[in-house]
Chain A
Amino acid sequence: MNTNIVEGEQAHSHGPAKGIGRWLFATNHKDIGTMYLIFSLIMLFVGGAMAFIIRAELFQPGLQLIEPEFFNQMITMHGLIMVFGAVMPAFVGLANWMIPLMIGAPDMALPRLNNLSFWILPFAFLMMLSTLFMEGGGPNFGWTFYAPLSTTYAPPSVTFFIFTVHMMGLSSIMGAINVVVTILNMRAPGMTIMKMPMFCWTWLITAFLLIAVMPVLGGVVTMMLMDIHFGTSFFDAGGGGDPVLFQHVFWFFGHPEVYIMILPSFGVVSEVIPTFARKKLFGYHSMVYAIVAIAVLSFVVWAHHMFTVGMPLAGELFFMYTTMLIAVPTGVKIFNWISTMFKGSMTFEAPMLFALAFVILFTVGGLSGIMLSLASVDFVYHDTYFVVAHFHYVLVPGAIFGIYAAVYYWLPKWSGRMYDESIAKLHFWFSFIGLNLTFFPMHFVGLAGMPRRIPDYPLQFADFNMMISGGAFIFGMSQLIFVYVLFKTMRSGEKAQHLPWEGARGLEWTVATPAPYHTFATPPKVED
């Protein structure tokens, strides 16, 4: 690939607008990316505060701090905010920043749409949080909002919740369309689709998943709205409907959604590990095929979330087999990352530490996923803390560690300053220990019989729950270190080198440091 450092400087026909207008009317992919990332960091702390409340109540058996209604609102909001407010916007932020830089495009293809899709989000989440102060409280039916608990038996604020989900859906669909159009049309000359960086590949697939399933989510909440206000009976057996229909439609969205939250992390890790192992990704082609395979399979496994709803035997078997099959492409990815390390020349800066923890802990979550796929054993695991442990193992070290790896990896290019390596490592180790103290014991209490979503529990689970709450406190607090690292970098970070990582490859490293407001006004030529 060619290197043309000065090209960035030549391109600035105008700089950023002055004042608040720069952000309100932003069309620059870097500004919008920054806003997405800051928004998701704020949401991470809002959702984390709710997790603190949950874990504080569960520190000991008995009801000490909050009543069950409020506990149910907290678990619901924690899930919704972490999924739709923290993880997804963070990935869109990374996509905004990195996709144009990685494919050599001057900006996203649809900049105004980009602005709209970001600015919907703060309003959506303000509305969602405001439901907590409404009469009857906020949504209290879990982030999966199963009917009829979320329809006939829901608090009045459910209508606001439905509207919020529509807004988030619109935002995600617009963001996804933008990614697809950008990647398919704006790659630099010479960058064929099979030369594209892995992060762009994972985001391309993620965007297609989003476009396919967000309308399904919109559909299911609209059906709820009709049931609540317009006298239909989609989910009411009394009127000829079926509560299980809700679960089928929800999980047809929900399962691909799970991969939407992990695929971009796969992409980040596939960038970070080769850099710090100073070695090419072991099997680029098989990695691409594995992502496509995972995405296709994600549409035919949804009912493994519903093994206990009373499906016919044939249905259970079908969904059990397809779910087990997902282990194959996922295994290909994990083996690839490890073979990339093998015979490399590794160093262990913060991005690499997060990426390595990702590989280990995501594998732990993946293995418990194989256990969960077996329908007859799932009759025991289902809706216990074992499931809570499983999905936190794939989401926290999966999605969130992937995001941290990305931020530490690209922060020098974004800001022009180097973060403090030793404090970043402190952030990593505290997070790693806190995370495992929190989520590993959940496997044990789940197997021993603790159901999820309960505000109080029988005495035999008391010891582990105390440990879990302690771990959650450590994990939560250690995220403040991250905020400190960010502030320190921006205020007094050392000036970053042009190529901060010895092994880094790719177009994003060819622009000046910090990345100028406008990059690649003339497309680079990709050889290689």
Chain B
Amino acid sequence: MLNHFRVLCMLSCFVPCTAWSAWEVNMTTGVTDTSVAVYDLHMLVFYICVVISVIVFGVMFWSIFHHRKSKGAQSHPFYESTFIEVLWTLVPMIILIAIAVPATSTLVDSYDYSESDIDIQVTGYQWKWRYKYLTEDVDFFSVLTTPDEEIYNKQVKNPNYLLEVDKPLVVPINKKIRFLFTSNDVIHAWWVPALALKKDAIPGFINESWTRINTPGIYRGQCAELCGRNHGFMPIVIKAVTEPEYIEWLAEQEMQKTQLESASQKEWTLAELMTQGETVYKKNCAACHQPTGLGIPPTFPALKGSSIALGPIEKHFDIVFNGQSGTSMAAFGEQLSAVDLAAVITYERNAWGNNAGDKLLPADVAEMSGANK
């Protein structure tokens, strides 16, 4: 099928064709029953379009070659034929109805959200995804890991350039997974081509969709709705695994949680907080406030030398924790752990020549967040 498609593309386009094998030209068949149905529908309509163009352009080019004045062609009074006009109204109607039948059934099928095995809430943030397993105690953010050095061409780009994240969404195969989409700020769209699934994540509203993955593997996608500066830098990575592997992964998540809790009890040094803070900052803050802390004023203010980063720590904490309404500054209280909040605030107060000199401990965070809520 794919080879046919390429041949047709070569015939129908005006592109010089070399080494087609390296140049992907068609939709993926994907790894779900829905994606296969969508692919088949796509190919069906594509072939119908090819046949129509061959006929239509055939007549046109035949006229161009034979009915030209330079060949001595005379103009014939060939016009206003009711029969032909009725024909070319009815035939397209019939073709359209023939397409509408499979198109309707595929669509109806994709709207069947009932009887899901796993429910996952997907929330879009500028510019990352949050996955919350509604039936499990698992809730995490998934952030791009491609380093700036690769984006700014200082390093060779790896094969998964812009399609890699720190924590992929892990799901079992052969289970009906229902997704609930929403957003924390602007509209995003969650798209994984291999699942033929794209849905808008809209702030204040919840959208539904579902999938059932047939083959284990890693599937990658991207945000599809313009959502601001880093719209091109918030990929989606799904790891589809077998059921036992999935259960193992869930247990692992549980263990990490306990580890995190004990970490928040320990007494952190300034150096430790700074190291951790830099990692957290790069992942969560640098997109707007820039790795240099200089920001992109006026939309994204500088942190270097800012009155907030150098002022009272309570105010600084308040903005990071609760966000700043009316601006792009999100509320990180719900996004970051106590350790990460403490580390990143400490980092902002002491990096790039900022010299507040104080530090925030994870234990303080618990206290302040209580007071702040």
Are B103's CB and A279's CB within 8 A? Answer: no
B27: min CB distance to chain A, Å:
5
Report chain A residues within 8 Å CB of B224: 308, 382-384, 451
Q: How far is the CA of A82 from the CA of B104 in the complex (A)?
A: 36
**Residue ID in chain A nearest B52 by CB atoms:** A367
A141 CA to B299 CA, complexed, in Å: 14
A residues in contact with B126, CB < 8 Å: 153
Contact of A66 with B by CB under 8 A? no
| A448 is an interface residue with CB less than 8 A from chain B | yes
Cross-chain contact B38 with A345 (CB below 8 angstroms): no
Whether, in the assembled complex, B311 has its beta carbon less than 8 Å from a beta carbon of chain A, the answer is: no
Q: Using a CB-CB cutoff of 8 Å, which residues 6-48 of chain B contact chain A?
A: 9, 13-15, 22-28, 37-38, 41-42, 45-46
Q: Which of A47-55, A102-110, A373-381, A487-495 contacts B (4 or more CB under 8 A)?
A: A373-381
Q: Is the CB of A142 within 8 A of B41?
A: no
Provide the A319-339 mask, 1 if CB < 8 A to any CB of B, else 0.
011001101100110110011
Size class of the contact patch on chain B: 35 or more
Among B64, B126, B157, B205, chain A packs the most CB atoms within 10 A around the CB of: B64
Distance of A444 Cα from B25 Cα, bound (Å): 4
- List of B residues within 8 angstroms of A284 by Cβ: 80
Mostly, the A contact residues are helix
Q: Separation in Å of the B5 CB from the closest CB of chain A? A: 10
Quick check: is A437 within 8 A (CB to CB) of the other chain? yes
Distance of A356 Cα from B67 Cα, bound (Å): 14
A187 interfacial by beta-carbon distance below 8 Å = no
A339 with B22: in contact, given A310-B202, A456-B151 (CB under 8 Å)? no
Given contacts A69-B229, A454-B222, contact A317 B69 (CB under 8 A): no
* Residue A364 CB within 8 A of the other chain: yes
* B217 close to A (CB within 8 Å): no
Known contacts A309-B202, A447-B26, A456-B151; A341 and B299 CB within 8 A of each other = no
A451:B73 contact, CB within 8 angstroms: no
List residues of chain A with CB within 8 A of the CB of B348.
Answer: none
* Complex-state Cα separation, A155 to B200, whole angstroms: 23
A143 to chain B, nearest CB (A): 10
**Nearest chain A CB to B184's CB is how many angstroms away?**
11
* A353 → chain B closest CB, angstroms: 11
Which residues of B225-242 are within 8 A (CB) of A?
225-233
By the criterion CB–CB under 8 Å, are B85 and A149 in contact? no
A375 & B226 in contact (Cβ 8 Å cutoff):
no
B232 x A456 contact (CB < 8 A): yes
A374 in contact with B204 (CB, 8 Å): no
Binds A, one of B88-96, B267-275, B338-346: B88-96
Report yes or no: A451 in contact with B68, Cβ–Cβ below 8 A.
no
On whether the beta carbons of B15 and A310 are closer than 8 Å, the reply is no
Stretch of A31-39, A194-202, A237-245 lying at the B interface: A237-245
CA distance in complex: A72, B81 (Å): 51
15 A–B contacts from the bound complex (CB under 8 Å):
A62-B150, A64-B153, A69-B299, A136-B298, A316-B111, A328-B93, A343-B63, A345-B68, A368-B49, A375-B107, A377-B41, A379-B197, A379-B199, A437-B14, A467-B15
